[in-house]
Structure 1
């Protein structure tokens, strides 16, 4: 891939003095029974065992079989890696103490016999409004936040990100199994999530005012309960002064999460350069965007992706190379180019999380072997 990188002269590095954008990551994990592989509704017990910073960085999620770990604000990928590794290790230890595996996988791989959720009125309202959709098996994502404190700029950033997010989705594919069987999709989480009416490619907005007005209309229509239910693949965060990219399955390893976050931050920095240069965001057909995301969910990096700019079907790695070409100057400016190139080279050799899971399953035929491998990947203890 290094030989394929050719974008350093595409932009002048005149903005090299600009400070790197801040970033942070939210990771959702499943708690699985060590023997059956089923989801365990033990989040309360696991979270109660956390203390100090680990407790501060933890959250309940929509299921008692899930927990979320959140990094502090970071300025570089080295800091991010340290926080991700530490939070995964302490959460895994807390789970192991009560017989639960902490597993970084995008969708429930076996079964969720008990659909328990935290006792909160908001969750009850979601279930009343959306019915069985809200009772689907648990799903786990990785949400990357990049600091963009100007909200008008954040909306424009989301416009410019749209053609690249299917590639990010493909890179992050990590959920091929459902009910113990291979679905044929690299990201089954993406397919399950499509049942939510407020999820999908981010629409194009002319301004923050248009964004806010549209969200208000969708809340009035009942498609969303509140601004927290804007589930588009990129959005100005409702909590933080950031752009939040939420298209990815949770990453199987810390290294995978670091590469994902590095690419997303570089993408945001690159499109900010384009916006300041008054380059317009591509206006893309909704049908092509939907096709591009569906193909990313189906193939991951092991097949072909739709180029939403042209509608052409291309080898997935050609579009990854295009992405690296596009964001290379930003990665160079922030000193992260070699880290991201090395991570992508590893994915090219080893495959996405989805492909690595399938490789274990092809070898053993046992879904629980896959889950044991994933649990080891989650904390960095898998054999290579």
Structure 2
């Protein structure tokens, strides 16, 4: 059974006004006093962000329990520091983000200017274990067409600087401003993957290998494929779905590789269009089908993803739960729809944020 780990980025907000708060240093100092949390929480690019990482898990129930625990611990440390945490992929309210201290972040601010300043976006990254770099690259090559569906399922960022963007995942559009971000064409071998990464670093446009922001990449630190397309999810169950589907995609791709099945030959241009369509539509409008690259209802596209990974999910015992969670998202809407419905009901972005603080713990 492949292990799975999840990294989530949470927004620090004022519990009364919903405005982002630059208190990550204080929250991390609180977490550092707790022996159980010393290796769980980390700082991020902006002082209004807090990141946590789960330990690798084989069972999705165990993973869910750890995500819930980490969210609760983050909320506790935040409350002690005078703020709250919200699983929102962008701030609905206007904000002037402050870049965290450190040589790396200072270099990024100088190199990329306003693009760095505007990167107060919060994602969910899933790590799935692999046996070798060869297997990892084979997986990365084969999962590309399906990643836009994960983006649509996780969409949780409709608002930006106090306005409705008309997107379901505006975070993903902001993230694309990094020069190394986005989908990739097939690498075909681990040697070619590593050569491409080395060539990109050698340009000096990015600082190091850590700034390889491919939609799916080989982790620098762990023997994993890291899938990076998802918004941070409003609810823990959606985050678990992202991990479940990610593992299903990795296992299916690895089996296809061993069986000699070639990657689907979509160009990066088409993959970028599918990514844009997912960001715009979420689960509310048509998406591009990963195989045909033609517009189809979201129910059809999600069903195609579930069919694609069905054998892998059945073998891991995750198929029925994945089907149920997908059906619930398609029926009730994900984070983007929840935020818009809250806005429609209350007329206040402040109330959207404060209510999402509660959703983060549910």
- Say whether residues 1:201 and 2:176 are aligned partners: no
CA contact (8 A) 2:142 2:263 kept: yes
User: Of 310, 318, 325, which aligns to 2:300?
Assistant: 318
TM-score normalised to the size of structure 2?
0.97
User: Can you give the 5+ residue segments of structure 1 that lack an aligned partner in the other structure?
Assistant: 1-19
User: Of 82, 86, 111, which aligns to 1:103?
Assistant: 86
The residue number in structure 1 matching 2:265 is: 283
Deviations 1:7-48 (Å, cap 9, x if unpaired)? xxxxxxxxxxxxx11100000011012233222110111111
Distance, in Å, in 2 between the alignment partners of 1:205 and 1:167 is 22
The residue number in structure 2 matching 1:12 is: none
Distance, in Å, in 2 between the alignment partners of 1:76 and 1:308 is 28
Distance, in Å, in 1 between the alignment partners of 2:79 and 2:303 is 40
Tell me: CA distance 1:73–1:287, structure 2 relative to 1, closer, same or farther (3 Å). same
Cα root mean square deviation, aligned? 1.2
Deviations 1:348-371 (Å, cap 9, x if unpaired)? 221011011111111111111111
Distance, in Å, in 1 between the alignment partners of 2:112 and 2:254 is 36
The residue number in structure 1 matching 2:213 is: 231
- Say whether residues 1:33 and 2:14 are aligned partners: yes
Distance, in Å, in 1 between the alignment partners of 2:36 and 2:104 is 26
Which structure 2 residues correspond to residues 43-122 of structure 1 after superposition, within 5 A? 43-50=24-31, 51-117=34-100, 119-122=101-104
The residue number in structure 1 matching 2:163 is: 181
User: Can you give the 5+ residue segments of structure 2 that lack an aligned partner in the other structure?
Assistant: none
CA contact (8 A) 2:128 2:224 kept: yes
Tell me: CA distance 1:114–1:106, structure 2 relative to 1, closer, same or farther (3 Å). closer
Deviation for aligned residue 1:202: 2.4
Distance, in Å, in 1 between the alignment partners of 2:215 and 2:273 is 14
The residue number in structure 2 matching 1:329 is: 311
TM-score normalised to the size of structure 1?
0.91
CA contact (8 A) 1:295 1:306 kept: yes
Count the aligned residue pairs: 360
The residue number in structure 1 matching 2:347 is: 365
Deviations 1:277-310 (Å, cap 9, x if unpaired)? 1100111122211110000000001101112432
